[in-house]
Structure 1
């Protein structure tokens, strides 16, 4: 690999999509994001945790869908024209994350990130990997591995 290739790869790894849930900005590394889609009809599946809204059929691929508000223990709201689903992939697992709105894609260099303390309550997942301040805005950077545990634990992924 050439030096320019490594530099380009590092720049891509530093790209984050910023989205909003309950007026709070969150960022997720673009390397996990497959696409952003408008709301689709969601098929409810019995016995799922409340934050799992069900499944969608996206171009013949069945994808479980999680409501970010409910997963972050925030009061749910009615979906509107700005509500969208971010399709995320990690370790060959896919999940749709329903968010209030998507804002932008930004560059966040690793030296601007402040890692969160890994101490957490027993049984509670910590979805926040780090915090960064960009243009006087606090960006909570999500840990995709923690966010995706529900898919891995319950083997929701149908198409691998």
Structure 2
């Protein structure tokens, strides 16, 4: 697990064909590694009132506040049981040229895989357990079909505004502490 939990911020060394694969509700998904800041062990999440139910709250990440979503709940899936393999994947989301951090709860991180563009097919218009707007494409890996998620589309404009506001509150709290 300690190999999985590492800083992934040196994006200049990352290949655009690399994807982090993980499990949600017994299904395999992936995210482009370019959007992933780091992976942390599941920790206590402080609830925040008046947010959508899939926004679980915030965590303290090295003195900063990061909003966390239940990715399974966002997709309308049943959340998995919290185990020692449960992780929070910290991603960077960009909207209107602003970048915000967000944590995504996943049941288990698998590995970083090279997935070439030529094995990625468009998202099907039917047969998926999640909204196809969240899916960039489908890749066949080791005889399995893996959904490649489009992180920018997982949240609506209003939900991104909530995450950005939570990130700004983090910055203000840090400034006030100085």
TM bracket (short chain) = 0.7 to 0.9
CA separation of 1:35 and 1:49: change in aligned 2, threshold 3 A:
same
Q: Which runs of 5+ in 1 are unaligned?
A: 1-8
Q: For 1:61-76, what aligned pairs fall within 5 Å after superposition?
A: 61-76=64-79
1:145 aligned onto 2:152: yes
Q: Which runs of 5+ in 2 are unaligned?
A: 1-11, 172-178
CA distance in 1, matches of 2:18, 2:159: 24
1:28 offset after TM fit, Å? Answer: 0.3
1:77 offset after TM fit, Å? Answer: 3.4
Alignment check: 8 A CA contact 2:25 2:79 kept: no
1:157 aligned onto 2:167: yes
Q: Give structure 1 regions of 4+ aligned residues with deviation exceeding 3 angstroms.
A: 148-151
Q: Which residue of structure 2 aligns with residue 3 of structure 1?
A: none
**Offset from partner CA, 1:33-78 (integer Å, 9 cap, x none):** 0111001111100011111100011011111000111111112233
Q: For 1:5-154, what aligned pairs fall within 5 Å after superposition?
A: 12-91=15-94, 92-116=99-123, 126-149=133-156, 151-154=159-162
Alignment check: 8 A CA contact 1:114 1:131 kept: yes
- Normalising by structure 1, we get a TM-score of 0.83
Alignment check: 8 A CA contact 2:120 2:137 kept: yes
Alignment check: 8 A CA contact 2:43 2:59 kept: yes
CA separation of 1:10 and 1:60: change in aligned 2, threshold 3 A:
closer
Alignment check: 8 A CA contact 1:64 1:157 kept: yes
Alignment check: 8 A CA contact 2:14 2:33 kept: no
Q: Cα RMSD between the aligned structures? A: 2.3
Moved more, 60-69 or 12-21: 60-69
Moved more, 9-18 or 98-107: 9-18
**Offset from partner CA, 1:97-152 (integer Å, 9 cap, x none):** 00000001100111111122689xxxx77211100101101110000111244652
Alignment check: 8 A CA contact 1:52 1:67 kept: yes
CA distance in 2, matches of 1:105, 1:144: 16
CA distance in 2, matches of 1:60, 1:125: 36
